[in-house]
Chain A
């Protein structure tokens, strides 16, 4: 057991910290989940990309640094500690990219990855449909063969698509075999949203931003070169990288350490409302943020030594999402009558609270995750 980072890793930390200190926008950018804010965030993503900080763990040919998982975690800690902007490219670089690295053709990798990382082509995720949320296998949007044009015709609807109103591309699952049921007969498709046959309608989220969208497909076209993996095998493609061996989908501890640090500063700045009981909860949340960090380090050690992540990732999702809610709940209690303000110096806590509340819902609700933990980690019966 060796808890020290190497001199090279510490040097990388120092370099990243210096660059972030010099470049992180101040004052902070407006929310990236609005049209104008999104555009400003894409400029920031371009700046990150040009400095090769957008996707540090990717190969150099796609704009990365070939950084190890440890270096990626170090970068993330520094990134969030520096108060740097949210990553509006995250659904592409963290969710789609690992799948493209694993299943994509060389041509797809060349054509898609660098533009995704630079923000030139931002991607949104098209999983959920009006009647398929937690039950993802219940999707009904179809892709029908179009041999004349060498591709597929899409019909149906996706919904709750994060930043769908601002993105140029969507990845998602579509039914390509009308006879097949449930997990069979789906194909993972990469869709250019800039075409007739697609209508995107922004939906206002809980926090007031237009960060959601409904996406309607009316004979929209996807060429064969934009099928990811095999036709009718999309479920396996989508699931294979949910616990990506490259760790690119890990939720980095840096985010929660940064929030816990801000929470401690908040409590210190409000000595009149920081009762012993509230201070105890601040400390508890700080312990939890560190627990998350060290649990991640154990996982990363396993991954770099050739191991894999399994259903344990469901415990990780439950833990960080509920920790994020707690961190913000405590802050709101500390703020008392100031908690409701969505202007002024404390506004980010109410904003952050509303965003944190989405955590236990998205990426598989925590109820589903607890079922997975019970059945696949503990071995309790499905029925």
Chain B
């Protein structure tokens, strides 16, 4: 048993984090909100150049042969900056199955996530259907825009114009990768919301003292930090279960997504409350992260959906799972 990342995995995470700080800071994210595509100017290209987007592709296919554990910290780092790019859909769902051209992006629809973010700039639209995975070129679909609470997340309802045969039957694995990557992003978002709120609470003074010195404020943030502390290990464990093709990996992913969604909701609520009225404006950066958390909390199965999967499992299964 060794429940920790390797030095290499951590070094790669740090490199991705630094890169994203350069290419996806709050100002750049605001630009994405206002531009035509909702995507950042340079983050995708930079991530592609370092190999991150295609990391989970086999080496023979031009990737790095990463497994889910190798990739999970990249996903978390992308969440920390609310990266306005379809990285989970492409890095964790499409690329390992070779369903997208290297360097291009994919969009994904599932029964639990029927609206595909950034589909209008995707090469392929991947449908994770009950009977298999279907992959269509964007031109072979009709996209109907929908508006997300998150202004960078350009959503589309997808109508297929062509019937294609299922490309693969590994639907469950693909869905779990997507849900897992989203769970990791939610952990990153929780961390950022807590960090920006702590910074604000140290700076903002009322009654002559920083509001962060009040116990009522402290306890909100302590609760949020504690929720995150106990969501993250479930995400990392689910990554290892997927890598190991554990028979219960689906349950482990559901535990991870449920916990990460809940943690992000708690972090968002605590952060808004501790910001006070400034947090209720779009001038504070908090809303960029909070709205992404709301959006992702409900994507790839919300917390209640994932708990229902686990409840069904527990009702079927004999107890004693260790």
Contact = CB atoms under 8 A, between A and B. Distances in A.
Interface of A: 1-6, 9, 70, 77, 81, 257, 261, 264-265, 268, 279-280, 282-284, 286-288, 290-292, 294-295, 297-298, 300-302, 305, 312, 315, 318-319, 367, 369-371, 373-375, 377-383
A130 B204 CA distance: 38
A378 B234 CA distance: 22
B222 A290 contact: no
B27 to A, nearest CB: 25
Interface string B308-322: 101100110001101
Interface in B207-255: 209-210, 212-213, 215, 217-219, 221-223, 225-226, 229-234, 236-237, 239-241, 243-244, 255
B3 to A, nearest CB: 4
7 contacts: A294-B236, A298-B3, A298-B233, A315-B230, A319-B229, A370-B219, A383-B209
A55 to B, nearest CB: 21
A1 B219 contact: no
A373 B219 CA distance: 8
**Pairs A-B, 9 closest by C-beta atoms:** A374-B218, A294-B233, A373-B222, A370-B222, A380-B212, A291-B230, A297-B3, A315-B226, A301-B4
Contacts, number: 147
B307 A284 contact: yes
Contacts of A2: 1-2
B259 A373 contact: no
Given A318-B222, A371-B222, A380-B201, 4 more contacts: A268-B315, A291-B230, A295-B232, A380-B210
Nearest to B254: A287
A254 to B, nearest CB: 10
B218 A380 contact: yes
A378 B213 CA distance: 12
A256 to B, nearest CB: 12
Interface of B: 1-6, 69, 194, 198, 201-202, 209-210, 212-213, 215, 217-219, 221-223, 225-226, 229-234, 236-237, 239-241, 243-244, 255, 258-259, 304, 307-308, 310-311, 314-315, 319-320, 322
User: What's the dominant secondary structure at chain A's contact region?
Assistant: helix
Contact of B234 (A283, A294, A383): A294
Contacts of A282: 311, 314
B240 A3 contact: yes
Contact of A298 (B4, B209, B243): B4
Contacts of B5: 1
Contacts of B210: 380-381
A312 B229 contact: yes
A274 to B, nearest CB: 10
B202 to A, nearest CB: 6
Contacts of B69: 1
B298 to A, nearest CB: 17
Given A318-B226, A374-B221, A264 B4 contact: no
A315 B219 CA distance: 12
Given A264-B319, A301-B3, A381 B304 contact: no
Given A297-B1, A298-B3, A291 B240 contact: no
A168 B315 CA distance: 48
Contact of A286 (B237, B243, B314): B314
Contact of B213 (A5, A286, A383): A383
Contacts of A374: 212, 217-219, 221-222
Nearest to B69: A1
A380 B315 contact: no
A288 B225 contact: no
A282 B314 CA distance: 10
A283 B218 contact: no
A292 B229 CA distance: 9
Nearest to B255: A287
Contact of B231 (A264, A291, A298): A291
A284 to B, nearest CB: 6
Q: Give the one of A81, A290, A367, A379 with max B CB within 10 A.
A: A290
Contacts of A295: 229-230, 232-233
